[in-house]
Structure 1
Amino acid sequence: MDLQISLFLLFVLFTAGHSFSCYECVSMTGSCSDQKVKTCPSGFSKCTSLTTVTQVGGINQKLKDCTPDCVNGSMNLGIVGTSSVCCNTDLCNVKDAPDPGSNSPNGMKCYSCDEKTCSNILSCSGSEDRCITATESIEGQSVVVKGCVSKALCDTRRSVRDVRSISCCEGNLCNSANGVSQSFLFLCCSLLSFILLH
Structure 2
Amino acid sequence: MKVVQRLLCLLAPFIVTGQALTCTSCVSLNGCEPNCTSSSSVQCSSSELCSTTYRKKSQNGRYLYDIIRSCTPRERCGMVGGLSYADSKMSLGIGCCSTDGCTPVLPQLTQDASVSNGVQCGTCSSSQSTSCQTTGNIMCHGNETQCVTYSETVSGESWVFRGCGSSSLCKVPHHTTRVFGVAVEHSFTCMQNGVQRGGVTPGILLTALICAVLMNYSM
Q: TM-score, normalised by structure 1?
A: 0.51
Q: Give 2:98's aligned residue.
A: 89
Residue 138 of structure 2 is matched in structure 1 by 120
Whichever residue aligns with residue 77 of structure 1, its letter is Y
Partner of 1:73: 80
Amino acid at match of 2:138: N
Residue correspondences, number:
140
Relative contact order: is structure 1 or structure 2 higher (C-alpha 8 Å, sep ≥ 6)? 1
Query: Partner amino acid for 2:105?
Result: V
Contact in 2 for aligned 1:48/1:86 (Cα 8 Å): yes
Alpha-carbon distance, 1:26 to partner: 0.7
Change (3 A) 1:124 1:22: farther
Structure-2 change in CA distance of 1:41 and 1:26 (3 Å): same
The aligned amino acid for 2:91 is T
Q: Following superposition of structure 1 onto structure 2, how do residues 12-91 of structure 1 map, counting pairs within 5 Å?
A: 20-22=22-24, 24-36=26-38, 38-43=40-45, 44-55=48-59, 58=62, 60-69=64-73, 70-71=76-77, 72-74=79-81, 75-78=83-86, 79-90=88-99, 91=102
Matched residue, 1:149: 165
Q: Unaligned stretches of 5+ in structure 1? A: 1-17, 136-143, 176-198
Instruction: Provide the rounded CA distance (Å) in 2 between the counterparts of 1:170 and 1:26.
Output: 34
Paired residue type of 1:49:
T
Report the aligned-residue RMSD: 4.1
Whether 2:133 is the aligned partner of 1:111: answer no
Give, in angstroms, the shift of residue 93 of structure 1.
Answer: 2.3
Match of 2:130 in 1: none
Higher strand share: 2
Q: Distance in 1 between matches of 2:111 and 2:70?
A: 25
**Alpha-carbon distance in structure 1 between the residues aligned to 2:91 and 2:122:** 15
Cα distance change on mapping 1:105 and 1:27 into 2, 3 Å: same
Does the residue aligned with 2:69 lie in a helix, a strand or coil? strand
The offset of 1:87, in angstroms, is 1.6
Shift, 1:85, TM fit: 1.8
State percent identity of aligned pairs: 12
SS in structure 1 at match of 2:168: helix
